[in-house]
Structure 1
Amino acid sequence: MLQVINVSKSFSGKEAIKNINLEVKKGTIMGLVGPNGAGKSTLLRTIVDIYDPDGGKIQVNGYDIKDNFELKQTIGYVADRNDFFNSYKINDIVKYYKFAYKNFDIDKFYELNAVFEIPLNKKLSKLSKGNASRVAFMFAMSLAPELLVLDEPTSGLDPIVKRKFLQLLVEDVSERGTTVVISSHNLSDLESICDQVVFLNDGEILKDNTLDNLKTSMKKLQIIFKDTAPSGFECWPEFINVTKLGRSYNIVTDNYSEELLAKLKDNGALFIEELNLTLEDMLIFAVEK
């Protein structure tokens, strides 16, 4: 559905994203995660053709996004800052969308507003950040998009509204097969909805996998040896973090397997406890590796 092929983008000679390659299949929710300055917003803006890449290309359903008006009719985008229509009332923005997008469903927009309860006679600039994010989401969803690109859409939302937002998003994917690319610092939100996760740092992809596979391969282990740990244990290539407290070792691995367990037991491990990592834990250890 979405293909990012060898995409790079620089600003004033500094590379923001570097040779990015990824694919998101139809009906998938892909979470883009990384620290501040990792290049997440740059990548999303390049995907929707706000930024022209220095190299590479973006394709949706096999067609290049560059200057493709018809293709863009099928894409919904919620920016991290929603100030393009700041001086307009919401009702006036509705008129713009009716004119600009042939697929804009005004009934869907009002249906969503029955949930979010935004005063439509107010200017966008007079709304809180959370309410402005709701408005942007309502417009994007009212396009019945095939691809929905969301940059920090839950920022400023209270827990009750956030739950409604996530529920509406998942329902839309289930009912219409929408493909979603979403960036957020609220990793617990992404963990509850994402199928695929991409870790980005310094403009490069560290990991790109399904959430289930990440949870299977990345584990924390608490290990106690019968006597002492084998020589060079802390430098085993399977480990990305090792700490020691008394006789106990806390290990983080991104290569968890039955073979690793067998290797530990063969080297005298008396006690091994497996602990699952949250998505936030995974990101921290992947970045600090």
Structure 2
Amino acid sequence: MLSVLLVYYILAILYSLVRYRFRQQLGEDTAGSITFVLLLPLFGLPLSLLRDGLRSGYLRLSRSTGHLLDEVQDTHHVRVFRSLDVRKESNLVPLEEALLVNDLSSRRRLMLDFLKDDPGAMMPLLEQAVSNEDTETSHYAVTAVVEIKRKLTLGIQHWSVRYGSGEHTPEVLTEYAEVIRQYIHSGFMDSPTRRSHLSTYSSLLGELIEMDHADEEVFQAKIDSELQLQRHDEALRYQVLFHTRFPHSELPYLAALKLYYELQMKDAFFDTLQSLKQSPVKVSHTGLNVIRYWSEKGA
């Protein structure tokens, strides 16, 4: 009997060492299991091993069941709103759903995460969060909006000083124009302030074009800004220059169609449409849809 107990305790000690070594994988009741094995001779070790085996089987079954449910949900496109771990999933869950579905504490943590990251691109959704029924969430959203405005204002001041000191390089013009563009699109400003920034933005784009340091996006932005400023002659002038600089692109044609449509210049609109149809430029899917739609309208 003594030899049996000696063998049992040797095995129990080995089990305890293994259990302690892999305590994180095997669960949080390591101390209890070791105590159970040591204080219940002969029966403690078999019972503990049996419990471990049952627990392991249960976990495997739970994981398999979870995977099966996920596959069923994916197959049938079932959207299940579950409790959100904001720290891990704030970049995966749309902010609209988070604001509508999640509990108040999750909403607050989500807004704090946006404050830690770069919320500039999330301005429209932050505006939505401002009117959220949870006052703390709306407070965080307002804080985020104010922080965005502060950073953009500092950016404008920085590049304005460099521009004012005579640094009219393409790099300075591009950075200065970009920070103003972001500020304009951030909203929350009165009409005179917006027009003032838009005028500066348009002027910077004009300098880039005059330096022959402008791509198609700059031309489109320049024409749009002149149109918003209601300086139609300037918009038309840069439209002609756009086509001259990029004669083998469809974008000057599409920009012209938009401009002529806004200015209600019907003859110029359909003349440009006909020129696009007859031109050798490669037309995108969007351009092809424009041609088909307006060709039917003008027929």
> What's the TM-score, normalizing by structure 2?
0.26
- Greater CA radius of gyration, 1 or 2? 2
Higher strand share: 1
Higher helix share: 2
